[in-house]
Amino acid sequence: MKEKFLKILPYSGYVLFVSLGLLVFFVAAFLVVVVRTKEEQKVMMPYVIGKNYIEVHNELQRLQLKVRLETQRIPEKTDGIILAQSIDPGKEVEAGSKLYLTVNIGFDRVTIPDVKGQDLKRAKAILEKVLSGEVYVPLQIGGITYVPAVGDEPADTIIDQIPAPGKETHSGEKIYLLVTEPNIEKKSTQSANEPLDSTKFVGTPVPFLVDFLQRKKIPYRIKEATKPEFREEHGLTSTFELKPTGAEVGAFFLKPSETFVQDYEFLEYEVDDDDLYSAKITYTKPGDDTEIEKEIFTNQKLNEDEPVRFLIHRAGNVKVTLFGKETGVAKVWKLKGTY
């Protein structure tokens, strides 16, 4: 037995040596991975002063920086511009580091008032005096779109507005109004029978133009959306042409990096079958559980693989349903705002 043990002993030492070598190798490899991983978690701080926070938001998220916003009001500078950053540009920091940004509030902060149901004169008076903190500031009207009254809608009355009531925003944001036409008896016969002026719709919110066309029973098509030169043109009509077959509408649309509680949405779909198609938008009225449906596209002929496009203004969560007269539901969009 002793002789066998003495024969095995040299081999045992060799095995032990190899085992220790492998252990040292794996420990060293593990440490290298840990060190490299730690190094990979470091990020280079970019220079963001002078840029709009919306433009750099996604980049800072990609760098895994925890952003904390502080505000300062300098009316002479653009709203949303970053005035200061707590981490120096070019500095290497660990992912997950806190970054404090000072963002300019160039305008007074306001809550959009509800002017729906008011006559135009009263609505203008409300918008001239909107509370911002302890002072009153005016809101600028971006445009007024007149539409024929339907049913018991009173004349010269606000029936819709963009932005919707309750939006927290700044006093520089323009508000657009959809208003029923003044009493027809007060208009001359000549003005009542005037041909449609295509130019007056350029710069109008596309949803308001669609409302007008629906009330006039004029079929329409929305062309491919184009990127606006200025952010404030987002959601507005870029071109309008009335043809014998209906209206062709061009739209400005800026695809947002985030889904906001209120914003414009551009929808597009190629239908599968030849049919007469309609579309409706469904949403819950703010403040109660009343569900409201509104038709935005009515019995318009579409051929197989033909695209149909919609540009709507979403205030909260909405559902848009496209359906064929014979073929039933073709497409449902469920749209939800986050920020």
pLDDT at residue 189, rounded to an integer: 45
pLDDT at residue 6, rounded to an integer: 45
* H or E, element range at 37: helix 2-40
For residue 168, which amino acid is it?
Answer: E
CA distance 227 to 39: 40
Q: Which bin fits 217, alpha (ψ -120 to 50), beta or left (φ > 0)?
A: left
* Residue 337 near residue 167 (C-beta atoms within 8 A): no
Could you write out the three-class secondary structure of 225-239? CECCCCHHHCCEEEE
pTM: 0.73
Task: Choose among 268, 261, 279: nearest CA to 317.
Answer: 261
For residue 50, which amino acid is it?
Answer: G
CA distance 168 to 265: 19
CA distance 120 to 129: 15
What are the pLDDT digits (tens) for 50-88? 999 988 998 999 999 999 999 888 876 888 899 999 999
Structural domains of the chain, ranges and CATH numbers in brackets? 43-104 (3.30.10.20), 107-185 (3.30.10.20), 193-339 (2.60.40)
pLDDT at residue 323, rounded to an integer: 97
What are the pLDDT digits (tens) for 125-143? 999 999 988 889 999 999 9
* Residue 145 near residue 205 (C-beta atoms within 8 A): yes
pLDDT at residue 192, rounded to an integer: 47
Other beta carbons within 10 angstroms of residue 308's beta carbon come to: 19
Q: How far is CA 11 from CA 1, 15, 23, 69, 149, in A?
A: 16, 6, 18, 67, 101
pLDDT at residue 5, rounded to an integer: 43
CA distance 274 to 268: 17
Peptide bond into 163 cis (omega under 30): yes
User: Which regions of the chain are under pLDDT 50?
Assistant: 2, 4-6, 8-9, 37, 188-192
